[in-house]
Each structure stands twice: as structure tokens, then as C-alpha cells.
Amino acid sequence: MSSMIDAVGAPRERDASERSALLLWMIFTGLSVFAAVLLWRYGLIRLMVSSDRTYISSVIAVLYVVTCFHCFFRTRAIAREADVARRCRAILSAANGREALDGDARVLPAGLVTDHIRSLIEKAKAQAVGRIDQTLLLRSLADRLRGSNGFGAFVSDTLMKLGLLGTIIGFIIMLAPIATLDAANKAAMKSSMGLMSDGMAVAMYTTLAGLVGSILVRVQYYMLDSATQRVFSDAVTLTETHVTPALERRE
């Protein structure tokens, strides 16, 4: 009786940990939106947009929003794969891995983990005797689970470089009036100081936007990568404890 409770309780705990990935993303995004509303309420975002004549800060903001949507869809996909792994574990545990495998895994829910199990079944059918080696299939599963997660690292690096680009452009704007600066002409001095101030604003705001955007994207995709690794680990445990032993016993 205690073993049955442990068998049921463990998948529930793992499923809760996998679903927490989507919940964490929603909490993190909610806090980010709340911070953005506060900054807008106090006029800091409007000040940044109006002070940045290059519009690089606006481009960074738009790219960040697009990346957040991409991260949401990827996190939701991984959460679904976690649910598929949990259901597969429950089905194979209840049937001791035999009925589901004898039915070519048709009773298992659709997903990448189920596709991996079906590939193992096909390999077992094609393989005459011997131990089933799923190393190459696991590599393929890992690549499919990761999907377009690398987009996060690309965007994070791009946001950082856009911020640095804005810094360079801002310093160019700030230093350009110095070449024609006439200390005796007060009007020209005042105009030059205004241009230098505008250039400094461009440099500072774009750098700040790039750094903040890059950090926030890194945090989101770190949570996504952690959830992806947990799903892959669950898939390895599932196949090594329920699938491959059942397939090798059938031979």
C-alpha cells in the first residue's frame, strides 16, 4: 500500500514542479509589467522615449515584448510535454509497461516523449537481440525539446549590443559640437551644451534599456531551460525504468 502511495505521490510532486515553470514565468512577467506601469506613471518611460532621438530604446522595448511572447509559447509547450511525461509514467506504471507497448503506444498521449517511446519500440522491433541503446534517440529528444530556446540567448546578446550601439551614437552626438565650439560665442556655447546633453541622454537611456532588457530575457530563458532539462530528465527516467526493460523482456 505504501508503495502505491509513493508511486502516485512522486508523479504529482514532479508534475507540480513542472507546472511551476509556467507559473514562475507568469509571476515574473506580472512583476515586470507592474514595474513598467510604475515607470510610466511617474513619466520615466515617456522621458526616455522623448530623450532618445535614435529610437533605439523603443526598438529594444519592442524586441523585448516580442521575446516575452516567444518565451511564453515555449514555456507552455514545455509544460505540456511535462504533462505528457507524467501521463505516460502513470499509464506505463499501471500496466507495467506491457499493454501500452504491445499496443504500439497508441494509448499514450501525443507529445515528444511519446514519439521517443514509439521510436524505441520501432528500434526494438528492428533489432534482433541485445540491449537497447537509446543514446542517439535521447540526443534527438533533447534537441527537439530545446526547440528554439536558443532564441533567448540571441535576443539577450542583441539587446546588449543595441544598448552599446546607442552608447556610441550618443557619445558621437555629444562630442560632435566640440569641433566647432567657440568659447567667445555664448549662443553657440549654449547650443553646443544642449547638443551634448542630448547625446549624453541617448547614451545613458539606450545603455540602460539594453542592459535591463538583456537581464530580463536571460532570467526568463534560464527558467525555461531549467524546465526543459527537468522534462528531459523525467523522459530518461521513464524510458530507462519502464520502457526499455519491458522491450528487452519481450525479446
Look at residue 10 in the predicted model and tell me its pLDDT: 46
Tell me the pLDDT of the chain averaged across its residues: 80
Phi-psi region of 133 (alpha: psi -120 to 50; beta: other; left: phi over 0): beta
Residue with cell 507592474: 34
Would you state the cell numbers that stand for residue 164, as one nine-digit string? Answer: 552599446
Supply the pTM of this predicted model. Answer: 0.80
Q: What is the Cβ-side half-sphere exposure of residue 20, based on CA atoms within 13 angstroms?
A: 9
Is it the case that residue 97 has pLDDT exceeding 70? no
Q: What is the mean pLDDT of residues 24-39?
A: 91
DSSP SS3 for 38 = helix
Alpha helices, H only, the chain: 2-41, 44-51, 56-94, 98-102, 112-126, 135-146, 150-175, 186-238, 244-250
Identify the sign of the CA torsion 81, 86, 87, 92. positive
Look at residue 242 in the predicted model and tell me its pLDDT: 79
| Lowest-confidence region among 30-44, 68-82, 173-187 | 173-187
* pLDDT tens-digit readout, 113-171: 888 888 888 887 777 666 777 888 889 999 999 988 999 999 999 999 999 999 998 88
Would you state the cell numbers that stand for residue 156, as one nine-digit string? Answer: 539577450
